[in-house]
Each structure stands twice: as C-alpha cells, then as structure tokens.
Structure 1
Amino acid sequence: MDIAHLFGISLTTPSLHPPIFVYWRTPLVGSYIVNIDGCVKDGFASELGIIKDSSGQCVRVFFSSYGECPILEAELKTFLDSIILAQKIALSDLWIQSDSTLVIHCIIKGGRP
C-alpha cells in the first residue's frame, strides 16, 4: 500500500494476495533474453514478446493475432514465433522466459503433464 501511494496509486481495498516482486535477470554477455506471453480473450488469441540483449537494450518487440485458439496453443505458438524471429534476425544463445508453467513443461519434458 505504501509503495502504491508513492506512485500515486490509490488502493481502496487490500489485495487478497500480497504482491510478488519480480526482477529481470541479465543473460550472459553475447546472449539474448526473450520475454513472451500468449493470451486469449473472448476466444481470440494473441502474442507479445520482447527481445533484449545482455545490457537490457531492446532488440525487437513483436505482436501477432492468431484468431480463435485455446490458451496452450497460443502460448506454444508464441514460443515458436520467438525462436523463428530470433533466427530471422540472426540471434543465437537465447534465454526464453514464459509465465506459462504448462508451456515450460511441454518444452522441457514433452507433451502435457
């Protein structure tokens, strides 16, 4: 609540869950980090991603609309699109970050949990 007040944000009701502090972890020099998110609203899917270099400078931002598809498909398409874009602009040594534990599981272990 105190931090929100510092930013001029007025909270009238306390949150049910305390905030979670997150931070951006710097990749190794010469590496790139890709933050991705696929989403579905009212049945329509889209993606958003940002590629940054090891100093935190934005290299590329991407967005696309997929039409109708389930959330897992949107998240997986976003993952794949980030790799395709990195290849097109000749980037290698990628760190890909996603907020979807299901996607991470599918990529690392294969298939659905």
Structure 2
Amino acid sequence: MDIAPLFGISLTSPSIPSTILVYWRTSLVGSYKVNTDEYVKDRFASGCGIIRDSSGQCVHTFFSSYGECSILEADFKTILAQKIGLSDLWIESDSTLAIHCIIRGGGPWSIQATLSHI
C-alpha cells in the first residue's frame, strides 16, 4: 500500500474523469499532416491513417494488415505505409514511445529496420 503510489498505482476508487476538449491543428502551408492509429488483437496487428493538406482536406487514406507483431512495430509500419510521394510531412501518433524512437533513436531491435526507413 505504501509503495503503490510510487509506481502510479491508485488503490482507491477512480473518480469520474472530466471532459477534455481536443483540437485538431492543420499543418503549415505547403506541408501535409498524417494521423495514424494502430490495433493489435491476439498478436495480429493492423493500422490505418489519413493524410490532410494544410487546409485540412483529405489527400489520402490508407489501411494495412501486418500479421503478427507488437503495437510498437505496428506504429512504425503504419507511419511508413503512407509512402505516396509526399514530402514535408507532419506525423501525429498516439505512441509516445514511437515518437521518442524517431526523434532520439534507439528502441527494440525489432523496429530498427522500419525505423531506418522512416
């Protein structure tokens, strides 16, 4: 009971979360924004995404199945899946670990080949 809070574990009843308003921001003029999402069930992964221009208009959507892999591997494969010849991309992902690996390098060996392509 004493060390649980050190690991971010609450042993009390959770309170009802408040509503949070979230805004989607456009990319800079001349660039494109990629939003991705991934899903793993029974070790089989898939991912999808949407690419929008700086006015928010949809340029491209995509979906891929990856077979058996981790959620982190799926994150990277989805980011890489959007190869349609566009440059100056702003990529948004809900994976803090994926973004950390892209910006600072590192991560597990299973993602290194895909990471090097990104």
Shorter-chain TM range is 0.7 to 0.9
State how far apart, in whole Å, the 1-side matches of 2:19 and 2:71 are: 24
Aligned residues between the structures: 94
1:68/1:19 CA distance change after superposition, 3 Å? farther
Tell me the secondary structure at the aligned position of residue 67 of structure 2: strand
Q: Percent identity?
A: 69
Unaligned runs of 5+ in 1: 1-14
The residue type paired with residue 67 of structure 1 is G
Deviation at 1:21, TM superposition (A): 1.9
TM-score, normalised with respect to structure 2 = 0.73
- Matching residue within 100, 103, 107 for 1:112: 107
State whether residues 86 and 92 of structure 1, in contact with CA within 8 Å, keep that contact through their aligned partners in structure 2: no
TM-score, normalised with respect to structure 1 = 0.75
**Residue-by-residue CA offset, 1:33-87 (whole Å, 9 max, x unaligned):** 00012221222100010000111110000001111111111111111222xx232
State how far apart, in whole Å, the 1-side matches of 2:96 and 2:19 are: 19
Deviation at 1:112, TM superposition (A): 2.7
